[in-house]
């Protein structure tokens, strides 16, 4: 009887014959099928070793030698150091390798943001030219897919200084919104510019200078309303409306030929309530005015002195016949820059240290003004405060790291075009002279987000990103001093120049 060992060996023999038949087409070969494959594998390894040895010897004898980068038309980056170069012809047509100051300059010179990495040995012996580039241009560009759109938000918020004094600071959030807050709607907000001391009335996203504070506040019943402290940069970012001030006619105090018994400069009213029409009496006519203009005139001490001598300034009661039988000047059609026509309602604010924010969706007026919103300034960059020309800047510009915005700064919502700017996470706005330069930087100018020019002007300007400037010899970059902490109390990043 066969043992278990005999059975196992017979099974192995049968399996070997089956494998040999499948692999070698022979059930009883003279040698194992695995032996032939092992020899082939060993031979392949030896050939690979010989090839690598030959390549290594060639590399020692003739290092470098890669010239494909010369025809790539891309930004050349040295592998060992990260130094950027461009390969360009000079005036006599000789191709030269130029070191560039930053990546933006390299992209403008090559017309491409494509990068090719080359070893330093491959650059040995290549004719060199002068260092080129725009001093202060960005060394990193956001990808086109990382560009931010609307909304942009301009906020004024109180911060505490080292001495404990509370001061307003302005932050511009590029492509970002805010949380919470109460919308002004049709209400008005009184704000005090801590830079100039001027009082402004904010209504429908515009600011209106209050020229005669005593008369205006009395006329609009706003004397006891809290005034919110803001910085000049916040007000400068909003579109300006017409000032609130008394607007008297000339020659006040003399008898009027238009309204018997009335003096020039007196205020008259036809009807009552919201439908009432208000007029200012002129020498030979009546001039239609708004309720707000009428009340400001009546609250003006000069009106009492000149148009109501010895009496209390009050509105004359006129009939429709009184104003239809004489020459009259109709009230002009309302415009966006006009202040309120009727006495407005004051917004509910807690005090002078409220946070106020204006949101912008396009190049028009703000889409809304919020009071008491939560502002996240994480990652913001502190600005210099003002340009050398005196333009006030936002204290903080917030752009998420690695992101940016291509913006078209326009004079109005109706303007078809505007100046192009590239806003980076360094908190700088770099002018882009034309769509061609935008394309060289990797952007489509037609996708630029439209924003009001007075809002974009709140960002510290950088040098213009033009091909002509990039082709000039670069100077050593100047150091730009910024505050190490932002004005909202959170850590601010220093721009990498």
Model pLDDT for residues 185-208, shown as the tens digit of each residue: 999 999 999 999 999 999 999 999
Model pLDDT for residues 455-485, shown as the tens digit of each residue: 999 999 999 999 999 999 876 544 333 333 3
Q: Where are the beta strands (DSSP E) in 47-186?
A: 75-78, 84-89, 95-99, 115-118, 152-160, 166-173, 182-183
Between 159 and 17, name the one with better pLDDT: 159
Q: How far apart are CA 129 and CA 473, in angstroms?
A: 10
Residue whose entry in the numeric block shows the structure tokens 């009082």? 199
Nearest in space to 78 (alpha carbons), one of 100, 48, 62, 63? 100
Per-residue pLDDT, 248: 96
Between 274 and 153, name the one with better pLDDT: 153
Cβ contact 201:208 at 8 Å: yes
**Which pTM value belongs to this model?**
0.80
Q: How far apart are CA 370 and CA 205, in angstroms?
A: 10
Average pLDDT of the residues in 220-240: 96
Burial of 478 (0-12, 13-18, 19+ CB in 10 A): exposed
Q: Quickly list DSSP for 204-252.
A: TTEEEEBSSHHHHHHHTT-TTS--EEE-HHHHHHSPB---B---PPSST
Highest mean pLDDT: which of 24-33, 71-80, 481-490? 71-80
Domain map (residue ranges) of the chain: 1-29, 68-123
Cβ contact 190:227 at 8 Å: yes
Which tokens sit at 331? 């009230």
Q: Could you give the angle at the alpha carbon of 329 between the alpha carbons of 323 and 331, nearest 5°? A: 105
Per-residue pLDDT, 495: 36
The CA radius of gyration of the chain, in Å to the nearest whole number, is 38
Which tokens sit at 388? 């050398």
Per-residue pLDDT, 101: 94
Query: Which backbone phi and psi does 443 adopt, to 5 degrees?
Result: -125, 155
Which tokens sit at 399? 């752009």
State percent of the chain over pLDDT 90: 66
Average pLDDT of the residues in 116-124: 87
Please name every residue paired with 13 in a beta bridge, in sequence order, or none if there are none. Answer: none
Q: How far apart are CA 439 and CA 406, in angstroms?
A: 11
Model pLDDT for residues 324-334, shown as the tens digit of each residue: 888 989 999 99
Where residue 5 falls among pLDDT bands split at 50, 70, 90? Answer: confident
Q: How far is CA 116 from the centre of its chain?
A: 31
Model pLDDT for residues 307-322, shown as the tens digit of each residue: 999 889 999 999 988 8
Per-residue pLDDT, 42: 67
Whether pLDDT at 338 is above 90: yes
Which tokens sit at 354? 């409220």
Q: Count how many Cα atoms sit within 13 Å of the Cα of residue 58 in the half-sphere of its side chain.
A: 8
Where residue 74 falls among pLDDT bands split at 50, 70, 90? Answer: confident
Q: Count how many Cα atoms sit within 13 Å of the Cα of residue 363 in the half-sphere of its side chain.
A: 17
Which tokens sit at 312? 């209390």
């Amino acid at each position: 009887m066969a043992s278990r060992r005999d059975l196992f060996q017979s099974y192995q023999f049968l399996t070997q014959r089956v494998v040999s038949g499948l692999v070698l087409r022979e059930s009883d070969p003279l040698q194992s099928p695995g032996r032939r494959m092992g020899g082939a594998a060993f031979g392949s390894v030896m050939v690979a070793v010989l090839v690598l040895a030959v390549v290594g010897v060639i590399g020692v004898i003739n290092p470098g030698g890669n010239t494909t980068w010369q025809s790539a038309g891309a930004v050349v980056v040295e592998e060992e150091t990260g130094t950027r170069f461009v390969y360009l012809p000079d005036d006599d047509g000789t191709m030269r390798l130029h070191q560039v100051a930053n990546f933006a300059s390299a992209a403008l010179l090559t017309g491409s943001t494509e990068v090719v990495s080359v070893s330093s040995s491959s650059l040995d012996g290549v004719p060199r030219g002068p260092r080129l580039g725009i001093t202060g241009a960005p060394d990193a560009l956001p990808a086109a897919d990382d560009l931010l759109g609307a909304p942009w938000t301009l906020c004024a918020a109180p911060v505490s200084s080292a001495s404990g004094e509370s001061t307003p600071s302005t932050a511009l959030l590029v492509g970002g919104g805010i949380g919470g807050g109460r919308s002004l709607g049709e209400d008005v907000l009184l704000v005090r510019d801590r830079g100039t001391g001027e009082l402004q009335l904010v209504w429908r996203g515009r600011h209106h200078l209050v020229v005669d504070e005593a008369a205006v506040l009395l006329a609009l019943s706003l004397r006891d309303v809290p005034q919110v402290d803001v910085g000049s940069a916040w007000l400068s970012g909003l579109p300006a409306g017409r000032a609130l001030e008394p607007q008297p006619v000339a020659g006040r105090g003399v008898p009027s030929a238009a309204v018997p018994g009335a003096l020039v400069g007196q205020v008259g009213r036809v009807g009552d309530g919201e439908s009432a029409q208000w007029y200012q009496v002129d020498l030979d006519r009546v001039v239609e005015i708004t309720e707000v203009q009428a009340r400001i005139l009546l609250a003006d001490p000069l009106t009492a002195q000149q148009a109501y001598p010895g009496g209390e300034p009050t509105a004359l009661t006129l009939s429709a016949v009184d104003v239809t039988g004489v020459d009259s000047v109709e009230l002009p059609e309302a415009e966006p820059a006009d202040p309120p026509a009727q006495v407005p309602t004051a917004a509910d604010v807690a005090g002078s240290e409220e946070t106020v924010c204006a949101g912008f969706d396009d190049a028009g007026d703000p889409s809304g003004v919020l009071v008491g919103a939560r502002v996240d300034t994480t990652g913001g960059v502190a600005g210099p405060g003002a340009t050398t020309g005196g333009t006030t800047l936002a204290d903080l510009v917030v752009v998420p790291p690695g992101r940016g915005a291509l913006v078209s700064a326009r004079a109005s919502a109706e303007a078809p075009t505007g100046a192009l700017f590239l806003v980076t996470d360094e908190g700088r706005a770099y002018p882009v002279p034309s769509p061609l330069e935008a394309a060289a930087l990797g952007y489509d100018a037609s996708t630029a987000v439209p924003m009001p020019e007075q809002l974009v002007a709140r960002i510290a300007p950088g040098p213009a990103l033009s091909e002509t400037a990039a082709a000039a010899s670069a100077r050593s970059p100047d150091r730009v001093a910024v505050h190490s902490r932002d004005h909202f109390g959170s850590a601010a990043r220093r721009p990498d120049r």
